């Protein structure tokens, strides 16, 4: 970790993290290690308006947080694609670790999702929603927390679902169904 810390300070943190996202995206055997590094070293991020990365609409102490654009740039698509690849990994521990990080870093009401493109929204929703097919209770619990928020009451969860998750989930399911239909039609042509 000390070597990687020195490397990240030698190059810029955003460049270092960009390479970590590329590793997550392309090197399947290194995903677990890369996720461990991200969970330990990704700084707490804050948006330009002062909204913290993992806790929206709170007042933050400036010394505890790093500006979102400084660390991840203005395009978070690479990070989203990296997390999507990790959630779809064959290793169950990598999937669980990736979903835990998504719950922290890619909350549906968080800064990173707001900065992402519509296509990236669909990519991460498709990847996270696919955990239902794995029939793993802990993954399903993580999916429900991501879709419903972390509030305890049913009313708050339904409100979170309606305001942050439902339309994106509907769009993702429609796009997925359309892709399936088109792929079936292309087999007959």
Closest to 109 (Cα-Cα) out of 142, 62, 145: 145
- When comparing pLDDT for 116 and 71, which is higher? 116
CB 98 within 8 A of CB 36: no
pLDDT at position 50 is 43
Global pTM value: 0.78
Token output for 156: 């708050």
Is pLDDT above 80 for 182?
A: no
Kindly report which listed range (54-63, 114-123, 153-162) carries the lowest average pLDDT score: 54-63
CB 63 within 8 A of CB 105: no
Count the alpha carbons within 13 Å of 169 in the hemisphere toward its beta carbon. 16
Tens digits of residue pLDDT in 31-63: 999 999 888 877 665 554 444 434 444 444 444
pLDDT at position 176 is 66
| Unique residue bearing structure tokens 């879709």 | 147
Q: How many CB atoms lie within 10 A of CB 93?
A: 11
Is pLDDT above 70 for 181?
A: no
CA distance 55 to 104: 9
CA distance 52 to 176: 32
């Amino acid at each position: 970790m000390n070597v990687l810390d020195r490397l990240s300070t030698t190059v810029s943190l955003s460049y270092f993290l960009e390479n970590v996202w590329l590793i997550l995206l392309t090197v399947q055997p290194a995903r677990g290690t890369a996720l461990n590094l991200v969970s330990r070293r990704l700084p707490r991020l804050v948006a330009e308006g002062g909204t913290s990365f993992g806790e929206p609409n709170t007042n933050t102490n400036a010394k505890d947080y790093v500006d979102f654009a400084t660390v991840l740039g203005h395009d978070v698509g690479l990070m989203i694609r990296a997390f999507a690849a990790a959630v779809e990994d064959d290793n169950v521990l990598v999937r669980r670790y990736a979903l835990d990080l998504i719950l922290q870093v890619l909350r549906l009401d968080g800064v990173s999702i707001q900065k992402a493109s519509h296509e990236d929204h669909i990519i991460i929703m498709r990847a996270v929603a696919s955990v239902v097919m794995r029939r793993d209770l802990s993954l399903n619990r993580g999916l429900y927390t991501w879709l419903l928020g972390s509030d305890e009451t049913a009313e708050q969860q339904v409100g979170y679902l309606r305001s942050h998750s439902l339309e994106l989930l509907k769009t993702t399911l429609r796009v997925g169904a359309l892709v399936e239909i088109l792929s079936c039609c292309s087999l007959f042509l």
